[in-house]
Amino acid sequence: MKSSTRRVLSRRAFLAGGAVAVGLPFLDVMRPLARGAESIAPRRLLCYFVPNGVVGDAWFPVPHATLELSPSLAALAPVRDRVLVFSGLANAPGMPDAPGSHASGTAAFLTARKARRSEVDLHVGVSLDQRFAAAIAGATPLASLQLGCEGGGSFGACDIGFGCAYHRSISWSTPTTPLPKLTSPRLAFDVLLAGDDPGAGAAARAERRANRRSVLDVVLADVHDLEGDLGVGDRVRLDAYLDGLRALERQVDAPVGLGACKAAASPGEPADFLAHVDMMTELMVLALACDRTRALSFMLGNAASNRAFPFLGVEGGHHDLSHHAGDPAKKAALRQVDAWQVAQFARLLQRLADTPDGDGDLLRSTIVLLGSDVGDGNNHTHHDLPIVVAGADDLWGGGRHLMYATGTPLARLYVSILQALGLPDTSFGEDGDRPLTGLRLDA
């Protein structure tokens, strides 16, 4: 066993090579030297948005305090004991004064504030993730990261007078500043690990990539230099981390067979939607594992997304199906989409649970929130929202169905989340007047 003179590494140790820097996973060698000192992982927040609401009869569990997974939530079974499912929560600020529920509901999803109906004079509120990001500014190389699987600009009208930014952004750094999301896995990977500027021109990015060797090739010499300080457990963690990084880099860099779509698709993008979601899932895990950011948001689709799901055998677009008017066939198709979306979320949770972090894993140190713009897409309701929270096991436990009176403000949950993240906030949004009761195990 090494003496107390061993080198101690910072959590944010950099393995530098040219313009590339990689944050290491938390290793035992990074622990304080004090006898008995515990490794305390920092808190993190990941917000996951799915569009168009859900079919409630297959989503919400039976009324029981112990979580009995519904058909739409069945994919959560492997992580059931680390999940909280909510019923009765509402986001009243998401209800517009006139038509436009998808835009207003999406804008209010993380802000809990009513959006101003305008194409250019945007105003809503600071989002949950950005309130947290501002509070921990400087703790990580990236203040926050916004990812998604559907693009589109922020200008023009997308929903009866509402600007497109309300449709395509859930993160707002100020009431008037929507944060655009990265939808290219290649660009997101560059931003995440190489400090690339998403505002740089295509030629500049291409030149940088052409001169860039594999991230691992650049840093392997530095990794080998560390090995003398690593115990058996650290070597296993580091090897798994590097294997995962290499696999992700190969996946994102792999050439795509565009076939007849050369005129419509840009090189370097995933071959299909399934691959896109998989890549973004791995990027989210990597972002948190590297401690590149602790505030992350992800949009599986934009508001009112009309994406088709032929791989599920479903006919029609998502938004069109959500206006089912009681049609049994359309509702059955929607239930399939709901279950598939939860399966993607469940895979993310499992990946976080499988990733070591301090004395636990990334899921324990990360509060992961899933929600949507509306409750019932057919009626554009903003009550009985589909809300799932995972993580924060030490504070909230899991395997519970938390039932509240219909209309209970979702923003109260956000107050609880901010407090769990270590912030002193006692209110949030328009109706988050206090923490949500019954959430903490010691309440």
In a domain, 214, yes or no: no
Print the domain residue range for 341: 44-186+274-283+293-420
Q: In this structure, what CATH number is given to the domain that contains residue 129? A: 3.40.720
In the three-class reduction of DSSP (H, G, I as helix; E, B as strand; rest coil), residue 395 is classed as helix
Number of domains the chain is built from: 1
CB 125 within 8 A of CB 172: yes
Note whether residue 233 is domain-resident: no
426 within domain boundaries: no
Q: What is the pLDDT of residue 378?
A: 93
What pLDDT, in 10s, does the model give residues 222-272? Answer: 566 666 667 766 666 566 556 655 655 555 554 433 333 233 233 356 889
Q: Does residue 25 lie within any of the structural domains?
A: no
What integer pLDDT is reported at residue 202 of this predicted model? 63
Q: What is the pLDDT of residues 35-68, one digit of tens each?
A: 444 556 899 999 999 999 999 999 999 998 899 9
Residue 251 lies in a domain: no
Per-residue model confidence (pLDDT) at position 187: 85
Question: pLDDT tier at 8 (50, 70, 90 boundaries)?
Answer: very low
The Cα 101–Cα 95 span in angstroms is 6
Torsion sign across C-alpha atoms 132, 305, 187, 25: positive
Amino acid at site 321? L
Token pair 């899991």 is found at 398
Asked if residue 398 belongs to a domain, the reply is: yes
- What mean pLDDT value characterizes the chain? 82
pTM: 0.82
Distances from the Cα of 181 to the Cα of 7, 30, 189, 289, angstroms: 39, 33, 13, 20
140 within some domain: yes
Write the pLDDT tens digit of every residue in 149-170: 998 765 556 767 898 889 999 9
pLDDT at 241: 58
* Residue 359: inside a domain: yes
**Using 50, 70 and 90 to split pLDDT, how confident is the model at 7?**
very low
CA-to-CA dists, residue 272 to 21, 269, 276, angstroms: 30, 9, 6
pLDDT interval class at 94 (50, 70, 90): very high
DSSP per position, 79-148:
GGGGEEEEEEEE-GGGS-SSS-HHHHHHHHHTT-SPPP--SSS------HHHHHHHHTTTSSSSS-EEEE
Classify burial at 317, counting beta carbons within 10 Å of its beta carbon; exposed 0-12, middle 13-18, buried 19 or more: middle
pLDDT at 296 > cutoff 70: yes
Residue-level pLDDT at 368: 98
Q: Give the pLDDT score at 98.
A: 85
